Amino acid sequence: MIDGDNTSQVCSERVGSISAIVHVEVEGGVSLTAMIDDRAVLERVPLGPIVSGVAYGAVSSVVGVARRAIRESFTAASGKAIGPHEADHAEAVLTLAEADGTRWELVLRVAANGVALRYRLPLLDGVAAMEGERTSLDLANVERLWALEYQTWYETPRFGTDAAALAPGHYGLPMLMRTEAGDHVLVTESGIDGRFTGSHLEAQGGRLQFVSADASVEVTRGEVSPWRVFVLGSLADIVESQLVDELAPDPAPGTDFSWVRPGRAAWSWWSDFYSGAQLEHQMRFVDDAAQLGWEHLLIDCGWDATWVPEIVSYASRRGIQVHLWTVWRDLNGPENLRRLALWRSWGVAGIKVDFMESESRDRYRWYDALLAEAARVGLMVNVHGSVIPRGWARTWPHLIGYEAARGAEYYVFYDEAMAPEHNVILPFTRNVVGAMDYTPVALSAPNRLTSDAHELALAVAYECGITHFADDTAQYTSRPLVARFLAELAPSWDETLLLAGDPDSHAVIARRSGERWFIGVIATGEARSIRVPLERLGLGPADAWVVGDGLTESTHASIDSFEVDAAANGGAVAIVTHAGRTPFRAAPRPVLESPVGEPAVAELAPDRTATLTVSPDSTLRVPPGWRAERAGGDRWIVHAGSQSAGVVTVERPGEDGVAVVSHARVLPPLAPGDHAVSGLPFLAFRNESGPVERGTSNGGGNPGDGTIMTIAGETYADGVGMSAPGWLRLHLGGRATAFSALVGIDDETTTGWEVFGGTRSVESATARVAVVVDGVERAHLDLVSGGAAASITADLIGGTTLELRVSSPGEAHVDWAHALITVGHR
């Protein structure tokens, strides 16, 4: 209703026990009170945007109120509960006028578990500057809160404090507060995109003020802020809420996200920093992941385009999809974004994008562009060094993970133990608003304060669309109970409940998949017994298989609760079923046959086409700008685009929705003349440390970390840098006549090259190099560190494939300087 007295005009909306009242007063201006039943949880929150130096809402009058019931449906591809959801909200749009007649709108939403608001300028001509807002919260009735010091990538530790002890400063979202009456409020945002900038909270004078990352943002007619969201209720109401997603917009009409596949991933970076550059290492992780029945492999920094198709094919035969790490700058701008289509053409399923570290409007526009292009080509996205979730799980269902939390990588970067207090707070704060890629279960972490069972329980206590397990898969397979639980762990969830806990002491999270419930218990503090109530699971008498501290197992039959004897900072996991039903369903993934794609290396004809023969049930995926058409039977004609070479992916349906793939490389024939090996397409390589480098020494374990080639003090401007043992394979096609190079052990072998945590060198080294054509050695040399570069030549006549091999009894970085393949003259 609206009172006729302009000094106390009130609009009230209610859904269930939650109500919101908007006051418009002469002295107080526009403000909001949010209530649970008859208790004010947020009282007299000042409202109004600050636009071009004018603070709207300080002196306003109500022009009108439009009300409507909101009932929206959306489908979650991952999250607390996959599948269809209904959002039932009451909405009121208040049109307000300033003294000079300027009009603005307050949009208010009330849901069964919270209140949200945003601002609009419906009649704005041209542009204006959004410079802030009046929105702030009084802490007078707040007893305790759980916060983190603000940082644009949200990786500071979360902590609990009495509200009176909160120091002035800047704090990130979401923030959880408990009132003196025992009610809880989670403060956060939703519905953000490239029109806006991210916000955080500034504590000053007993209040929390919303502050934007950009001091001023150009706005146009319409919405000028994201949703300010206040989730209200008990701790269970907070943890189980999906209000942030409910407030976000739907995907673009007609967009299909059925290809999004939540699940579990093997990830080698945490346990071995340079392992992303080692194909064999990734193959071992694929094998272990298949044995555990997992769905994904994430290859972090170090991967090379030469062998990514090979690991994609290897993994696809086992029903495992491959994701690649990259830096956001490498995907900044339309030209760089085209890489997504190229990676998808190899059969890659997703990307992990890192180091955005900004809440600016420009960066949100980058997110818009990235997510739109990834959706178009069909890539799942996991963002690190990122902002917190603000409803994109609804708008962009292929965004299956955010970091935005201090997680297990801090063991690696900073040799810093994760505080169990921080771990326990996360389910009540950060993970409430969306997927959290903490990378859990770091069993081999040094200086760890948490128990093994606590680490294992993080796999359930935390939700992410794809859970990337931190440790080497061997750490799991060597512990039978850990392996069994992680094999049984469901790839996605149908329901999430908080069974017990408090952010200062412990969390008991239950997640359902089908008829099974998975329970994670994490605790901070001294050893004690923790009760796990099962009544809310709705099973009646239930059976539970429990793995507790000490990694010991127990079983319980026909129970409605069980006790966990938690060690200090301990925990437990459990699988709970209807009485009499087995909790175990897992099985290793089968190994399927690859589709046929022949020849494996095809040369382009003069009209820039190539012919491939493939399995009858297969289709082709080609690089961007290329096209493929059936030529009858099992033959396909590939029309190359502007690139000189490319990889064509042959794929057919596999199991669990994963295509089984193989690859054919399409290359131009070698033309007459000299060809620098550094400029030719590599068919394949293996290298002891990082990738084979083009034009530089090998360097360390990362791509592009070599320096100018230097042998016995002499420098060389071109060639390839390798480390032993290793080999490099190139296509000759029967056209080449000769190979020549100057070879030697690079001086970095004895002076040192960078490795994670320092540098590495050897006092002296020896190596053997060989030139091999179609499996037959045609030349070799023995090298000694400090020796001058030696000439090596070989006859290539009639050869189809060339291999350059290096071996060493120890460690040696070898340069093939001025390496040339000659066609047409001797």
Q: Which residues pair with 731 in a beta bridge?
A: 801
CA distances from 744 to 93, 716, 821 (A): 75, 11, 18
Number of Cβ within a 10 Å radius of residue 370:
24
The residues annotated with a catalytic role in the active site are 354, 409
Q: Among 193, 297, 178, which residue's Cα sits nearest to residue 232? A: 178
CA distance 190 to 199: 11
Residue 778, Cβ density class (10 Å: 0-12 exposed, 13-18 middle, ≥19 buried): middle
Q: Among 432, 498, 427, which residue's Cα sits nearest to residue 458? A: 427
CB 706 within 8 A of CB 696: yes
Token representation of residue 631? 């030529």
CA distances from 764 to 163, 726, 746, 747, 787 (A): 63, 19, 11, 10, 11
> Which long-range CB contacts under 8 A does 305-311 form with residues at least 24 apart?
306/682, 306/683, 306/684, 306/685, 306/691, 306/692, 307/279, 307/684, 307/685, 308/343, 308/346, 308/348, 309/346, 309/347, 309/647, 309/649, 309/663, 310/279, 310/663, 310/684, 311/279, 311/282, 311/283, 311/286
CA distance 433 to 193: 16
How many residues appear in the chain? 826
Q: Which residue has the tokens 């001509």?
A: 125
CA distance 465 to 727: 38
Q: Which residues pair with 643 in a beta bridge?
A: none
CB 241 within 8 A of CB 87: no
CA distance 57 to 133: 9
Q: Strands 350-354 and 380-383: what pairing?
A: parallel
Torsion angles phi and psi, residue 631, rounded to 5: -115, 15
Give the CA count within 13 Å in the CB-facing half-sphere of 473: 25
CA distances from 307 to 260, 283, 684 (A): 24, 11, 6
CB 155 within 8 A of CB 430: no
Torsion angles phi and psi, residue 40, rounded to 5: -80, 120
Helical spans, DSSP H, in 75-124: none
The amino acid at 42: L
- CA–CA–CA angle 490, 492, 493 (5° rounding): 95
Number of Cβ within a 10 Å radius of residue 362:
10
SS3 32: strand
CB 212 within 8 A of CB 173: no
Enclosing H/E stretch for 263? strand 263-267
CA distance 110 to 29: 21
CA distance 159 to 751: 46
252: DSSP letter: P
> Could you tell me the strand order of the sheet in which 466-468 lies?
399-402, 380-383, 350-354, 321-327, 296-299, 263-267, 466-468
SS3 614: strand
